[in-house]
Amino acid sequence: MGFDIDKIRADFPILLRQVHNKPLIYFDNAATSQKPKAVIDALVHYYTHLNANIHRGVHALSQEATDAYEQARDGVKTFFNAQFREEIIFTAGTTHSINIVAHGFRSLLNPGDEIIVGQAEHHSNIVPWQMACDLTGAVLKVLPIDDNGQLQLDALQSLLGPKTQLVVVNHVSNALGTINPIEKIIEMAHQAGAKVLIDGAQASSHIQVDVSALNVDFYTTSAHKMCGPTGVGMLYGKKELLELLPPYQGGGEMIKEVYFQGTTYAGLPHKFEAGTPNIAGGIGFGAAIEYLNEIGLDEIAAYEHDLLLYATEELKQVQGLRIYGDVPLKTAVISFNIEGLHPYDVGTLLDQMGIAVRTGQHCAQPVMDFYGIPGTVRASFAFYNTKDEIDTLVKGVKRAVNMLL
Partner 1 sequence: MSTEAQQDIIEEFALFDDWMDKYEHLIGLGKNLPLIDEHYKTDQYIIKGCQSKVWLRAEQNEGRVYFSADSDAIITKGIVSVLIRAFSGLSAQDIIDAPTDFINEIGLSDHLSPTRANGLVAMIKQMKLYATAFAAQNNA
* Cβ-based nearer residue to partner 1, 3 or 344: 344
Q: What x/- string results for residues 147 through 186 when contact with partner 1 is judged by CB under 8 A?
A: ----------------------------------------
Shortest spacing between CB 320 and partner 1, in angstroms: 15
Stretch that binds partner 1, among 172-180, 268-276, 311-319, 336-344 (CB under 8 A): 336-344
Give how far Cα 129 sits from Cα of 27, 109, 140, 340, Å: 31, 11, 7, 36
Rule CB under 8 A: say whether 5 interacts with partner 1: no
Which are the contacts of 7, defined by CB distance < 8 A and separation ≥ 6?
A: none
Kindly tell me which of 292 and 341 has the beta carbon lying closer to partner 1. 341
- Judged by beta carbon, residue 130 or residue 352, the one nearer partner 1 is 352
For residue 340, the tally of other CB atoms under 10 A from its CB is 9
CA dist., res. 257 & res. 390, Å (int): 57
Catalytic residue among 155, 363, 373, 404: 363
Strands 18-19 and 333-338, bridge-based pairing: unpaired
Using omega within 30 degrees of 0 as the cis cutoff, is the peptide bond preceding 269 cis? yes
Q: Site residues for partner 1, window 337-376 (CB under 8 A)? A: 341-342, 344-345, 348-349, 351-352, 359-360, 374-375
Mention every residue, 6+ apart, whose C-beta is less than 8 A from residue 223.
Answer: 93, 229, 230, 232, 233, 234, 281, 284, 285, 288
Cβ distance to partner 1 smaller for residue 168 or 401: 401
Dihedral angle sign, alpha carbons of residues 389, 390, 391, 397: positive
Indicate the DSSP class of residue 112.
T
DSSP state of 269: T
| Length of the chain counted residue by residue | 405
CB distance 193 to 186 below 8 Å: no
Smallest gap from residue 20 Cβ to partner 1 (A): 7
Q: Which C-beta is closer to partner 1: that of 186 or that of 401?
A: 401
Report the site for partner 1 in 106-135 (rule: CB under 8 A).
none
Query: Is 227 among the residues known to form the active site?
Result: no
Of the candidate residues 44, 135, 329, 403, the single one contacting partner 1 (CB under 8 A): 403
Footprint of partner 1 on residues 14-73 (CB under 8 A)? 20
* In the complex, least distance from residue 349 CB atom to partner 1, rounded to whole angstroms: 6
Residues recognised as catalytic: 363
Binding site for partner 1 (CB under 8 A): 20, 341-342, 344-345, 348-349, 351-352, 359-360, 374-375, 403-404
